A and B are shown apart, each in its own frame.
Chain A
């Protein structure tokens, strides 16, 4: 994957960013779609802009493609100021969410359309189209019109068309949004393979966190026109910096509390909802008396009938809901404080319903390692 290729360019201070978004603001009359965003994207990255609808991710993408121009700030691509360059002169191509294939042209003509403007001989052009169709495995469909293709095939034509001009940057707007679940998984890996083969920098806009997590080298989580956090999928998931990011990515249990004591590598938080104290290791940069939140992912909590060993954060509760998903199950456990805790448990043992760890109304112990908890300060 891209991570190995680029050797984490973003961690190397001497690498110059390939795309530089410099305090960019975009206003639509009164509405601020993008608010003073700065972002560096490096060569060969598969970068995801992740956020809900209206968070400004698409506007940011359209400013990279040139369809919108920033109200303030500048956009640089490969060392060139692109802020006022029109879309047809940018070394950037886009794969549209609706694919935007030309309905009156065949697959071949669609893929070759952008090459009309390149200085190529007819033979070179034909060659390139063939190469692109081979890349997306659509050679035998070259003569078809878009409406004769399935959704997945159309998506691949759109990808081939966007790649045909060998752009410096490929922008993908919700690339998997219109595909069904099985096809998404397949296409996801195909996109990653193509990114690796071509070495082009990909910028993906998506509202689907799973898509962002699996596809990308880094993710920028956006909300209300600003970037809340930028990092690798692991950083974003395991080390969210704010409540918003913790909540947006995956599901999470949060307990409000007050810092009671802090040692060198451990903080103890008094949480009324948890019904006691929670030890948090890894991050102890808080002051005694401050109000904080302890966040814990559902799959990091163990659920057991027996009381757990000492040294873990543990509490007893009652199962009030149980959802079975096959590979895992979701338990909703009510604590004595009447707070609800979501717990995910992988069904790693084969068994009947009666052999489950817990049933409805069962008393259970919940426990987690101090290192599994996330301390959120805002």
Chain B
């Protein structure tokens, strides 16, 4: 219509319809299908790589172990499944002990990560401009080297002839009477070694969610508390700490859950006589070739971890409903 005086009369302009005169299919695609496809992608991913394998594992946990390929078999008569693996899980002390060791190591490691990570996250969140970026980079930097390499480095450091161990030994000997001086600190192949390396490896997973939470906190709230008479420590207790609980929970879950099922670290530096549950699963699966038992332990572990998380989520939902 450019250059021509617009006509006031005549039929209503056709621009009301979608330009280009799209077919019904294209229309449907644009209005509905793309949105559905985008939503569907993560669901398909989850079904393929989480739900389906998990169902297979559950099914396997209800089967019997046989010497065949594959090494498990379902009953041929009703009810086709057996609970003997679960019975064994609760009757054989090896498994219970594995869970307990895992939970204890993971709990201690999570607590240490929180104690170490919180001040670091707070420091980074309060740092100014460039410093903040540099500090964040330093937290993430270890990820640039192979995880295994870093665990092997710790093995070297903890060995009785390393500079680390010798330094630690002479430091401890300062406080010990001459008669009971030690030659080295027995660190390797112990739960202490597992916790140490877990704390080292998982610390960034504690720091990052805490930082994300603390960084968002409004500093004027701290000023308001100070203005109302609170000293810096009281301000922390009354304002910063309660408002960072979501960050604390997120960080603790991110450390605790993988730490409980950790396989590599306890296999490399842990005590084989007191194994964590990840190692037990691995042994059942590859040494004993008892796939149903390995599956059973894994299912039980998942229940152990998922139930508290779901409870926590319910609690959070109720709390937020309560205030609305």
Among A100, A102, A118, the one with the most B-chain Cβ atoms within 10 Å of its Cβ is A100
B127 interface contact, C-beta 8 A? no
Interface residues of B in 225-253 (CB under 8 A from A): 225-231, 238-239, 242-243
For the complex formed, measure the closest distance between the CB of B232 and the CB atoms of chain A, giving whole angstroms: 8
Contact check, B323 vs A147: say whether CB atoms are below 8 A apart: yes
Whether the Cβ atoms of B323 and A93 lie closer than 8 Å is: no
A102-B221 contact, Cβ under 8 Å, with A113-B238, A145-B323, A148-B323: yes
- CB within 8 A of A88: which of B230, B242, B323? B230
Given A147-B323, A148-B323: A114 and B229 interface contact (C-beta under 8 Å): yes
Whether B17 sits at the interface, judged by CB under 8 Å, is no
Q: Pick from B221, B227, B238: contact of A93, CB below 8 A.
A: B227
In the assembled complex, B75 has its CB within 8 A of some CB on chain A = no
For B167-186 the 0/1 string (1 means CB < 8 A from A) is 00000000000000000000
Interface residues contributed by chain B, number (CB under 8 Å):
18
A313 in contact (CB, < 8 A): no
Closest to B230 in A: A88
Q: Does B220 contact A (CB under 8 A)?
A: yes
Known: A104-B242, A113-B238. A88 touches B229 (CB 8 A): yes
For chain A, the bracket of interface size reads 20 to 34
Minimum CB–CB distance for A47 against chain B, Å: 19
Residue pair B224, A100 in contact (C-beta under 8 Å): yes
Contact check, A87 vs B323: say whether CB atoms are below 8 A apart.
no
Let me know if A98 is at the binding interface, CB within 8 A.
Answer: yes
Tell whether, in the assembled complex, residue B243 and residue A87 are in contact, meaning their CB atoms are under 8 Å apart. no
Instruction: Indicate whether A96 reaches chain B with its CB closer than 8 angstroms.
Output: yes
Q: Assess the A87–B242 pair: CB atoms within 8 A.
A: no
- A88–B220 touching, CB < 8 Å: no
A94-B227 in contact given A100-B218, A145-B323, A147-B323 (Cβ < 8 Å) = yes
Contact A100 B223 (CB under 8 A): yes
Q: Once the chains bind, are B228 and A117 in contact (CB under 8 Å)?
A: yes
0/1 per residue, B38-54, Cβ < 8 Å to A? 00000000000000000
Name B's A-contacting residues (CB within 8 A). 218, 220-221, 223-231, 238-239, 242-243, 323-324
What are 23 A-B interface contacts by the 8 Å CB criterion?
Answer: A66-B227, A87-B223, A88-B226, A88-B229, A88-B230, A88-B231, A93-B227, A94-B223, A96-B224, A100-B218, A100-B220, A102-B225, A102-B238, A102-B239, A103-B243, A104-B242, A104-B243, A113-B225, A113-B238, A116-B230, A145-B323, A147-B323, A161-B228
